[in-house]
Amino acid sequence: KNEVEQSPQNLTAQEGEFITINCSYSVGISALHWLQQHPGGGIVSLFMLSSGKKKHGRLIATINIQEKHSSLHITASHPRDSAVYICAVSGGSNYKLTFGKGTLLTVNP
């Protein structure tokens, strides 16, 4: 069974700060997903990674397969970035997405 650990659980930042959220997993995977969920809302897929690095606007996601570790970075954070960020992994014969517990990000103006 894959264990997915995220850190930190809660993160408060000032507008404009650079944010990093970390995700570690225990078993080899075929893909890692970063998801965003606003309070009471649905889930938005931000990235799917199997290697290297991806960038979309102010968001950057990296993955190190050997270290079984991924990071999500937000540059020039904004209050609208306030949400729960969830790391999830899929792989092998496991048909399930295994979710981390999420990181609650609050960006203050």
Sites of contact with another protein (CB under 8 A)? 30-31, 33, 35, 40-45, 48, 50, 86, 88, 90-97, 99-102
In whole angstroms, how close is the CB of 33 to another protein at the nearest point?
A: 7
CB 35 within 8 A of CB 88: yes
61: which residues sit within 8 A by CB, 6+ positions away? Answer: 34, 46, 47, 49, 53, 54, 55, 70, 71, 72, 73
In whole angstroms, how close is the CB of 16 to another protein at the nearest point?
A: 28
In whole angstroms, how close is the CB of 91 to another protein at the nearest point?
A: 6
